[in-house]
């Protein structure tokens, strides 16, 4: 926990985790005691996030590139899912044993679901890139 400390020697304030009863002042270099009545420094989460966001240069083209990677991954999983679907349908009509069909259909469903989610994430990122304001 970071607390605000006032040096007993130079009266300068500084922040420290204050894990010990005494700390060294970064201004004068002398050892000063950490008082019990010093209050912890608190931060509000939105304030930290907004300060961080203000200091960052957001490039919409980089955001679009990332979104494109998600959509591309979705296409790959979608193709795998469709190939699996065709394979599963062929297995249904050609085999008496049900176990491979269940396994194949499970992987097919998972691939299609993953493709769907990657596509949605890519679209959300695209929306973020298109609504970016400088």
- Note whether residue 18 is domain-resident: yes
Same domain, residue pair 29 and 65: no
Q: Output b/e per residue, 35-54; b: 16+ Cβ within 10 A.
A: eeeeeeeeeeeeeeeeeeee
Same domain, residue pair 35 and 71: no
Same domain, residue pair 120 and 71: yes
Would you place residue 81 in the very low, low, confident or very high pLDDT band (cuts 50, 70, 90)?
A: very high
Q: What is the pLDDT of residues 33-62, one digit of tens each?
A: 877 545 555 555 454 554 545 556 667 788
The torsion angles phi and psi of 29, rounded to 5 degrees, stand at: 80, 0
- Note whether residue 50 is domain-resident: no
Tokens standing for residue 70: 């998600």
Same domain, residue pair 37 and 68: no
Q: What is the pLDDT of residues 100-134, one digit of tens each?
A: 778 888 889 999 999 999 999 999 988 888 886 65
For residue 93, the model assigns a pLDDT of 81
Mean per-residue pLDDT over the chain, rounded: 79
Same domain, residue pair 7 and 37: yes
Same domain, residue pair 67 and 115: yes
Residue 29, by phi and psi: left (phi above 0), alpha (psi -120 to 50) or beta?
A: left
Contacts of 10 (CB under 8 A, 6+ apart): 25, 27, 28, 30
- Note whether residue 95 is domain-resident: yes
d(CA 75, CA 118): 9
Same domain, residue pair 62 and 91: yes
Same domain, residue pair 62 and 106: yes
Same domain, residue pair 30 and 68: no
For residue 96, the model assigns a pLDDT of 67
- Note whether residue 47 is domain-resident: no
Give 23's strand partners: 32
* Boundaries of domain holding 108: 58-130
Q: How many independent structural domains does the chain possess?
A: 2
Contacts of 61 (CB under 8 A, 6+ apart): 129
Same domain, residue pair 13 and 74: no
Query: Are 73 and 46 spatial neighbours (Cβ–Cβ below 8 Å)?
Result: no
Find the angle CA(110)-CA(71)-CA(61) to the nearest 5 degrees. Answer: 155
Same domain, residue pair 76 and 38: no
Same domain, residue pair 71 and 123: yes
């Amino acid at each position: 926990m970071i607390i605000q400390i006032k040096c007993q020697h130079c009266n300068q304030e500084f922040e420290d985790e204050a894990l010990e009863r005494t700390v060294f002042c970064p201004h004068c270099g002398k050892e000063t005691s950490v008082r019990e009545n010093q209050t912890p420094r608190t931060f509000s989460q939105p304030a930290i996030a907004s300060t961080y966001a203000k200091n960052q240069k957001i490039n919409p083209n980089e955001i679009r590139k990332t979104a494109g990677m998600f959509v591309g991954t979705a296409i790959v999983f979608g193709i795998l899912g469709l190939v699996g679907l065709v394979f599963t349908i062929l297995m249904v009509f050609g085999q008496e044993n049900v176990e491979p069909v269940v396994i194949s259909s499970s992987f097919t469903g998972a691939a299609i679901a993953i493709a769907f989610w990657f596509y949605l994430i890519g679209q959300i990122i695209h929306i973020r890139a298109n609504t970016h304001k400088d």
